[in-house]
Structure 1
Amino acid sequence: MSFLQRLTTGLSASKIGTDRFGNTYWESRKSWLGYGRKRRFVLYNGAPEPTKVPPEWHCWLHHITEAPLPERPLYAWQKEPRPNMTGTPQAYRPPAHSRAAAVQRPPTAGDYEAWTPGA
C-alpha cells in the first residue's frame, strides 16, 4: 500500500479490524452519495487476492451483517482457503483434459462417421 493511499484511507475511513491473514477492514466515515450507506472495503496484506477474505469478513463487507462475525477455529474437516489457481500450472484439469499431465484420452469408438456436404 502506498503512502498516499494510507493517508487518504486514514482520513476518510475508520479502521474496523484485522483478520488472521493480516488484511485490514475499513468503513467510510460518511454515507456515499448514490450508495445510500457507508462504503466498506479491505486493504490486503501483500498481493490483492480476494480468496484471502475469510467468510466472517465477507459477510460484513457485503452488508449482510452489521458487525463482523467472530472468527472461529477451523474444524478438522475444513481447509484453509487457497488462492485462485486458474491460468497457472497448478490449475485443476479434469482427467480427459488435453493439457492434463501425461494422460492420454481414450480413443473413440469406430461408430463415428464424418459429415460431408451434399452427400
Structure 2
Amino acid sequence: MAMFDALFIRLTSRRVGQDKVGNTYWEARRRKDFYGRPMRRVIYPGANDPTTVPPEWWGWIHHTTEQPLPQDAPKKPWQKEHRPNLTGTPQAWSPAGQAPSGDYEAWTPGR
C-alpha cells in the first residue's frame, strides 16, 4: 500500500482493531459505500496480501458482521490455522503422488 494511502486512511478513519498477523482494520468516519455503510479498510504490515485477512475479520470487512468475531474463541476441530496463498511456490498443492517438478513451460503465442 502506498504511504499516502495509509496516511489518508489513518487521518479519515477510526482504528477498529488488529489481528495476530499485524493487519490493522479501519472504519471511515464519514465516507460511505454504495449502500450507505461506512467504508472499511485494511492496512497490511508488509506487501498487500488479502489472503492474510483471517475469517474473524473477513466477515467484518465485508459487512457480514457488525463486530469482528472474537479471536480467542475456541476453534472447531475442523478449523485450521490460516496459511497464505502458496500458488507458484514449492509448497503449492499438487495432486497426490505428484510433486511439483519445475519442468513447466509456459505457453507462448505463435508456436
TM-score, shorter chain, exceeding 0.5:
yes
- Using the TM superposition, give the Cα deviation of residue 86 of structure 1 relative to its aligned residue in structure 2, in angstroms: 1.4
Alignment of 1:65-80 (within 5 A): 65-72=65-72, 75=75, 77=77, 78-80=79-81
1:55 equivalenced with 2:55 (yes/no): yes
**Hey, which bits of structure 1, 4+ residues long, moved more than 4 A?**
73-78
1:19-98 correspondence to structure 2 within 5 Å: 19-32=19-32, 34-72=34-72, 75=75, 77=77, 78-95=79-96
| Matched residue type, 1:47 | A
- Cα distance in 2 for residues equivalent to 1:20 and 1:72: 11
User: Quick one: percent identity of the two aligned structures?
Assistant: 49
TM-score (norm 1): 0.68
Identify the range of structure 1 (66-75 vs 21-30) with the bigger mean alpha-carbon deviation: 66-75
Q: 1:11-41 CA distances to partner (integer Å, 9 max, x unpaired)?
A: 2211111111111000111142634211111
Aligned twin of 2:99: 101
Higher RCO by CA contacts (8 Å cutoff, separation 6 or greater): 2
Q: TM-score, normalized by length of structure 2?
A: 0.72
- Secondary structure class of the residue paired with 1:26: strand
Rg larger for: 1
Amino acid corresponding to residue 16 of structure 2 in structure 1: I
Partner Cα distance (1:83, 1:102) in 2: 18
Distance in 1 between the 2:38 and 2:10 partners? 15
